[in-house]
A = this chain, B = another copy of it.
Amino acid sequence: MMSLTIGKLAAAADVKVPTIRFYEQIGLLPEPVRTVSDRRAYDPAAVRRLAFIKHARQLGFPIEAIRTLLDLADHPERSCEDANSLAQEQLTTVETKIAQLEALRSELRRMVAAGCQGIAGDCRVIETLADHGLCGRDHSVPGRLSS
């Protein structure tokens, strides 16, 4: 019965302690056994599950998608259709976001390049913000990438 404290688990998966409690609360991680003094005692498998979650989060998958993905990982006999489509969806999301950010980047570059040293009244940054007509109109902020 080699079990881990929440702190050890956190260190092992490089995740913060409160995050683990949070994942438990929302049902991504199962409730672990408790010691007599009510501390969480994890078995080593928890490290892999948590690492899975962490990796998926790093890739930007939303929690709900991760729930599905974990479920699939827990039931290897099911069809992996969902996993494929979630990955495809996430790829599309990321690609869209990159495109939008590239548009922002180019306008910001123009603003910064035109940067001024004087007073706000003559500032190109302020001016650009004040008049959208001054710039390529095709940017808009990406929706959040689930993070």
A residues contacting B by CB (< 8 A) are 48, 51-52, 55-60, 69, 72-73, 75-80, 83-84, 86-88, 90-91, 94-95, 97-98, 101-102, 104-105, 107-109, 111-112, 115-123, 125-126, 129-130, 132, 139-145, 147
Given the contacts A56-B129, A59-B107, A140-B58, A121 and B77 also touching, CB distance less than 8 Å: yes
What would 24 A/B residue contacts be, using CB atoms closer than 8 Å? A52-B129, A57-B141, A58-B140, A59-B129, A72-B123, A73-B120, A73-B126, A76-B120, A76-B121, A79-B118, A79-B119, A80-B118, A80-B119, A80-B123, A80-B125, A83-B123, A84-B115, A91-B105, A94-B101, A94-B104, A97-B101, A98-B101, A141-B145, A142-B145
